[in-house]
Amino acid sequence: MTPQNHAVRIAEMDKYYGTFHALKNINLEIAKGEKIVICGPSGSGKSTLIRCINKLEDYHAGSINVLGTELDDNLDNIDEIRRETGMVFQHFNLFPHMTILENCTLAPMLVRKQSQIEAEQTALEFLTKVKIPEQADKYPGQLSGGQQQRVAIARALCMQPEIMLFDEPTSALDPEMISEVLDVMVSLADEGMTMVCVTHEMGFARQVADRVVFMADGEIVEEAAPDAFFDAPQQARTQAFLSQILGH
Partner 1 sequence: MAKTYQNPNIIKRLRADYFSNRTDTTLTLIFGACAAWALWNLISWGLLNAVWSAEDRDLCAHGSGGACWAVIDARWRLIMFGLYPYEEQWRSGIACVVMVLIVGLSCVPWFWNAKRISALWLTGFGIFYVLMRGGYFGLTPVFEQNWGGLSLTLFIFATVSLIGMPMAIVFALLRRSELPWISNTMGVIIDTIRSLPLLSIMFTFAIVLPFVLPSWMIGDKLYRVIFGYALFFACYQAEILRGGMQALPAGQEEAAKALGMSYWHRIGYIVLPQAFRNALPPTINQFVITFKETSLVVIIGFFEILASGNAAFGNSEWNFAHVEVYAFVALIYFVFVFALSRYGAYLERRMAVAER
Asked if 93 interacts with partner 1 (CB under 8 A), we say yes
* 145 binds partner 1, rule: CB under 8 A: no
Q: If residue 58 lies in a helix (H) or strand (E), which one and from where to where?
A: none
Taking CA atoms, 54 is separated from 9, 50, 152, 185, 196, in Å, by: 12, 8, 17, 20, 12
Q: Interaction with partner 1 in 104-133: which residues (CB under 8 A)? A: 106-107, 110-111
Integer-rounded Cα radius of gyration of the chain: 18
Q: Which of 26, 48, 52, 86 binds partner 1 (CB under 8 A)?
A: 86
Minimum distance from CB of 134 to partner 1 (Å)? 18
Separation of first and last alpha carbons in the chain: 50
Closest distance of CB 56 from partner 1, Å: 5
Please, is 103 exposed, middle or buried when counting C-beta atoms within 10 Å of its C-beta (0-12, 13-18, 19+)? buried
Instruction: From 58, 62, 56, 70, select the one nearest 8 (Cα to Cα).
Output: 70
DSSP letter at 98 equals S
Is residue 177 involved in binding partner 1 (CB under 8 A)? Answer: no
- Per CB under 8 A, the segment of 61-69, 84-92, 184-192, 234-242 that binds partner 1 is 84-92
Asked if 95 touches partner 1 (CB under 8 A), the answer is yes
One symbol per residue from 16 to 55: x for binding partner 1 (CB under 8 A), - otherwise; what is it? --------------------------------------x-
C-beta of 83 vs 129, nearer to partner 1:
83
What is the rounded distance in angstroms from the CA atom of residue 97 to the CA atom of residue 243? 44
By CB under 8 A, name the binding residues for partner 1: 54, 56, 79, 82-83, 85-87, 89, 91, 93-98, 106-107, 110-111, 139, 141-142, 152, 155-156, 159, 165
